[in-house]
Amino acid sequence: MADPIVVGVDPLANGDIAAVARGGAAVELSTAARMAIRAARTQVDKLASADSPTYGVSTGFGALATRHIPADRRTELQHALIRSHAAGAGEPVEREVVRAQMLLRLRTMSSGRTGVRESCADTLAGMLNAGITPVVAEYGSLGCSGDLAPLSAVALAMTGEGEVHDANGALVPAADALRAAGIEPLLLSEKEGLALINGTDGMLGMLLLALDDLRELLDLVDLTAAMSVEALLATDRVFAAELQQLRPHPGQVIAAERMRKFLVDSPIVASHRGPDCNRVQDAYSLRCAPQVHGAARDTVAHAASVATIELESIIDNPVVLDDGRVESNGNFHGAPLGYVLDFLAIPVADVASMAERRTDRMLDTARSQGLPPFLAADAGVDSGYMIAHYTQAAVVAELKRLAVPASTDSIPTSAMQEDHVSMGWAAARKLRKAVDGLSTVLAIELLTAARALDLRAPLKPAPATGAAVAALRAQVGGPGPDRHLAPEIAAARALIRDGALRASYTLS
């Protein structure tokens, strides 16, 4: 078993999120975190017993913040808040998303800025370690004040209400899952309801997971593009380092270098390199691949810088300051995350669009440099990859629609108290769908380019691209009569998503 992720007063690392959300790693609170939690709670207890009202401690919430709540009704107030705010609808979101937002909320509580009791943090940590995943519905968050409905679903489960998936994935009542794990349902005290739900944790969790996926996919699109360059007898001269340095965007330089390395020692490329080669001006989908892939890489880098700042941030309202004051604020607004979540959907769509153009070129006898129609074994009887390309084109069309921003679509709520919202959760949900679509697009380019390379025999591809073809061939047969293609697309997708394709090759 891996060591548990220690959650303390300092920010979590990017890799910690994936380890817990996807890898199922356990968590534990640091000693410093426990001390910080206790110190902040002391301040909240003082304010709770004071005569003057404090927002979130002894008042109502949102548009009802001016109403003072007597002490004997504050536990009722906190539970009413969670029950009313757990108002999501639609299909459950993915387990990894829920676990990510649980971990990020735990980290905020561990900072000593929220005023919760130690037992509150221990309950959340215990659920993570027991593999208890509350059912969080897809719709309900406007990204301001944070991810209220999604986080309320988690908080509700902490109190023993609602439904969860247990460690085996079974849907069970939260009370039963807590009992089986030996976790006492939480009885909320002053401030704890707000502290559990006033955060950007869902948005941030989905951003971090998408960044992990996109780094992998942008590495693999360099591979599939290089395979297509070989398959279409295109030139590699445009990827030369001296040409890239004339426009040294960091991502472009990296993408071009990777494509050069994929094509090192390629007999196919060597076969048409020399003074007699007339392939000087290849189509943009080949010649400009580093420029597009590189711009996508630079967009990922920008989004990662925003995510890093958010990981270092403490998002709650109100928040406990060092001098003991509990102050209201607007740090829960999701605009910084919403913007980059929307931004990332644009290069996802564009990278996919370029891959689709390369795929189409390999299937068209007018542009494929001698390949058979649709790479079919017996064109006319067989259709080859004709309809696989249709599928790819349909996904690309969807990705273009998903690139339309959500963050410009604010809609006022809460009796105009929340009169401008971020829609960051919606931006994150569509980005997840877009990333999944890009995997399908690259799987179909991989299948097409690999078959085209096989059809170039006896010429062989480069060692790196050849290794990728071999990895695919271990799962999917080579050229031949038509066969059921859907399972082969799924197999290629699996190679991409589980890391097996990336592990198949070595770049010098």
- CA–CA dist 356, 444 (Å, integer): 9
Does the CA dihedral 136-139-141-143 come out positive or negative? positive
Catalytic residue among 55, 339, 385, 505: 55
Query: Is 209 within 8 Å of 22 (Cβ atoms)?
Result: yes
Distances (CA, A) of 335 to 93, 290, 332: 22, 30, 9
Torsion of CA 120, 203, 325, 188, to 10 degrees: -30
Q: Are strands 171-173 and 326-327 parallel, antiparallel or unpaired?
A: unpaired
DSSP state of 375: G
Does the CA dihedral 35-37-40-45 come out positive or negative? negative
Ramachandran class of 147: left when φ > 0, alpha when ψ lies in -120 to 50, beta otherwise: beta
Give strand ranges (E) for 311-420: 319-320, 326-327
- CA–CA dist 459, 469 (Å, integer): 14
55 is catalytic: yes
Q: Map tokens 């991409």 to a residue.
A: 496
Q: Which two three-digit tokens encode residue 279?
A: 């392939």
Torsion of CA 121, 127, 129, 133, to 10 degrees: -130
Query: Is 9 within 8 Å of 33 (Cβ atoms)?
Result: yes
- CA–CA dist 236, 280 (Å, integer): 10
**Cis geometry, peptide bond prior to residue 145 (ω within 30 degrees of 0):** yes
Q: Map tokens 């908080």 to a residue.
A: 155
- CA–CA dist 133, 411 (Å, integer): 30
- CA–CA dist 487, 400 (Å, integer): 25
- CA–CA dist 326, 53 (Å, integer): 11
- CA–CA dist 384, 359 (Å, integer): 13
User: Which alpha helices (DSSP H) does 95-189 contain, by range?
Assistant: 95-110, 118-130, 148-158, 174-181
Active site residues: 55
